[in-house]
């Protein structure tokens, strides 16, 4: 097929017109092939751990047995900072890696039901304090697309699990995306856990055919020790004027967040570049000599290690999409279409057979927990995980509301079902290896 810019720009303008009749399902849009990413959306779970040393850092901030209260309190605050830094450090990978590697945001391949993606990170250089980190992710739903993941670092007793899905709407010039789901981060040695919500985003640059993600709104990091980090996002043209801007404030508890003057620490800058930190509620800036908090450009991402294709199980993402990914990289549009249809038709046949046999697809390593049940009974006696206590500490909804919705907000109703990793099922797994 001709990949000249001529055809690209005509198909892009016709694609933009198709946005006008958008029905909410991004995958219903026939995006022009050049906007396709040679990677399935399930692979985005790796972006939670491209700096494993930051993910486990809190576990190295443990008070000594004989520590005095001041030391204990200082370390607790330092752990809130460490978890905030890890989270901020994930954003460049999560939201810029396609623009950096593929020349613009792209449309990821739509994972098939049951598609899995597993991998590991070895201990960075010879830093023995980190050890190995593994990633286990599964496409737990196809309509709507939902990815669940678990990232485990045994040496540091660090367990991250989460899931996400999106709902998209179109405005005149941008695609607006609300994220659903959250992440739970548990440091078992410290007996401390964190609830992390996912910020809304929009895709800019559609008109110029070089789309990119900009984050917006607010996201939260609520700790079981009470501390909460409130992160506000903005892009170019907002108050800060710079793209990928954020302001994070750490408070000792949720009630304190009602007045920004109560911030114990304020962090300010760009999540894809440099950010600065200062005590209290004043906004830090490099120009008034405030301390650098994090430089997202300084450290290269530590990419997950995935075993070679020939050792992969048929359900593993890169095995499923290998031919499509190759065709996308070569710009062979007919082959992309042919290979994608093969996979999609095969999936439709499988679903039909299951339906005729009266069987439903069984998820492999994740269970859908209904928190309404837990609320009904005495939640304290059998709290399934930290989610209930963290949502009450942070005043966040337990329902399937857009991530970061507060209790008694307009979305705070309906189902309260959340995907949870089942460690036993993973430990009994005999076919799919890291
Ligand atoms: C079909 C629409 C189309 O082709 O439009 C062209 C543009 C590429 C815009 C639509 C796509 O933009 C992509 C950006 C994707 C998000 C990027 C990062 C994350 C974080 C990760 O942790 C969870 C997934 C999420 C939210 C991605 C979701 C899917 C997005 C919005 C892609 C859009 C289809």
- Rounded to 5 degrees, φ, ψ at 145 are -60, 125
Cα 277 to Cα 76, 271, 285, 349: the distances in Å are: 17, 13, 8, 55
Coil, strand, or helix at residue 131? coil
- CA separation for the pair 27, 8 (Å, rounded): 19
CA gap 335, 28 in Å, rounded: 20
163 lines ligand 1 (CB under 6 A): no
Per the structure block, which two tokens stand in for 42? 């399930």
In angstroms, what is the span from residue 108 Cα to ligand 1's centroid?
A: 7
Helix axes 333-356, 317-330, angle to 10 degrees: 150
Of 260, 224, 268, 220, the residue nearest 242 (C-alpha): 268
Mutate to test the pocket of ligand 1, among 93, 203, 215 (most ligand atoms within 8 A of CB): 203
- Provide the Cα torsion 85, 200, 8, 29; round to 10°: 140
Q: Is 174 helix (H, G, I), strand (E, B) or coil?
A: coil
First to last CA, the chain: 38
The residues near 204 (Cβ < 8 Å, ≥ 6 apart) are: 173, 174, 211, 212, 213, 214, 235
Q: Among candidates 393, 72, 379, which has minimal Cα distance to 223?
A: 393
Are the C-beta atoms of residues 307 and 7 closer than 8 Å to each other? no
For 336, the token pair is 């992309």
- Give the distance (Å) from ligand 1 centre to CA of residue 98: 10
Give the Cα separation of 87 and 49 in Å (integer).
Answer: 9
What pLDDT tens digit does each residue of the chain (434 aa) get? Answer: 334 455 666 777 887 787 777 777 777 776 788 889 999 999 999 999 999 999 999 999 999 999 999 999 999 999 999 999 999 999 999 999 999 999 999 999 999 999 999 999 998 776 779 999 999 999 999 999 999 999 999 999 999 999 999 999 988 778 999 999 999 999 999 999 999 999 999 998 887 778 999 999 999 999 999 999 999 999 987 665 799 999 999 999 999 999 999 999 999 999 999 999 999 999 998 888 899 999 999 988 999 999 999 999 999 999 999 999 999 999 999 999 999 999 999 999 999 999 999 999 999 999 999 998 877 765 555 566 899 999 999 999 999 999 999 999 999 999 999 999 999 999 999 999 99
What's residue 1's pLDDT?
Answer: 36
Closest CA to 190 of 55, 73, 61: 61
Task: Give the pLDDT confidence score for residue 206 in this predicted structure.
Answer: 80
The answer to whether 214 touches 204, Cβ cutoff 8 Å, is yes
pTM of structure: 0.95
Ligand 1 centre from 342 Cα, in Å? 23
pLDDT attached to residue 383: 62
> What is the whole-number distance in angstroms between the Cα of residue 423 and the centre of ligand 1?
29
C-beta of 217 in contact with ligand 1 (< 6 A): no
Q: Quick check: CB of 290 below 6 Å from ligand 1?
A: no
Q: Centre a 10 Å sphere on the Cβ of residue 309 and count the other Cβ atoms it contains.
A: 10
Residue 358 alpha carbon to ligand 1 centre in Å: 34
Distance CA 43, CA 314 (A): 16
């Amino acid at each position: 097929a001709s990949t000249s810019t001529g055809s690209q720009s005509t198909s892009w303008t016709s694609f933009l017109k198709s946005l006008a009749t958008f029905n909410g399902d991004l995958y219903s849009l026939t995006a022009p092939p050049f906007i396709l990413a040679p990677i399935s959306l399930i692979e985005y779970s790796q972006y939670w751990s491209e700096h494993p040393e930051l993910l486990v850092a809190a576990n190295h901030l443990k008070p000594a047995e004989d520590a005095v209260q001041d030391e204990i309190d200082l370390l607790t605050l330092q752990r809130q900072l460490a978890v905030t830094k890890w989270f901020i450090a994930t954003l460049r990978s999560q939201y810029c890696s396609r623009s950096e590697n593929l020349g613009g945001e792209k449309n990821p391949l739509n994972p098939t039901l049951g598609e899995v993606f597993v991998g590991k990170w070895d201990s960075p250089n010879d830093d023995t304090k980190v050890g190995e980190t593994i990633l286990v992710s599964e496409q737990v739903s196809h309509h709507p697309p939902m990815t669940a993941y678990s990232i485990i670092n045994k040496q540091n007793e660090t367990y991250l699990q989460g899931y996400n899905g999106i709902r998209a709407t179109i405005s005149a010039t941008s695609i607006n995306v609300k994220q659903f789901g959250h992440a739970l981060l548990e440091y078992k040695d410290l007996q401390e856990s964190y609830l992390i919500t996912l910020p809304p985003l929009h895709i800019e640059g559609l008109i110029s055919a070089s789309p990119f993600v900009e984050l917006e709104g607010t996201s939260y990091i609520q700790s079981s020790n009470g501390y909460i980090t409130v992160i506000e996002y903005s892009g170019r043209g907002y108050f800060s004027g710079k793209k990928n801007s954020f302001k994070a404030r750490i408070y000792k508890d949720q009630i304190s967040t009602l007045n920004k003057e109560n911030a114990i620490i304020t962090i300010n800058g760009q999540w894809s570049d440099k950010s600065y930190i200062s005590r209290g509620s004043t906004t830090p800036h490099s120009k008034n000599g405030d301390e650098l908090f994090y430089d997202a450009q300084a450290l290269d991402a530590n990419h997950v290690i995935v075993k070679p294709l020939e050792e992969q199980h048929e359900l593993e993402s890169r095995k499923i999409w290998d031919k499509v990914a190759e065709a996308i990289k070569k710009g062979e549009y007919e082959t992309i279409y042919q290979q994608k249809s093969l996979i999609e038709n095969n999936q439709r046949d499988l679903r039909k057979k299951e339906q005729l046999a009266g069987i439903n697809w069984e998820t492999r390593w994740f269970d859908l927990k209904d928190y309404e049940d837990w609320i009904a009974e005495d939640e304290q006696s059998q709290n399934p995980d930290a989610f209930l206590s963290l949502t009450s500490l942070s005043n966040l909804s337990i329902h399937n509301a857009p991530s970061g919705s507060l209790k008694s907000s307009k979305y705070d109703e309906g189902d309260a079902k959340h995907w949870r990793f089942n460690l036993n099922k993973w430990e009994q797994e005999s076919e799919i290896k890291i």
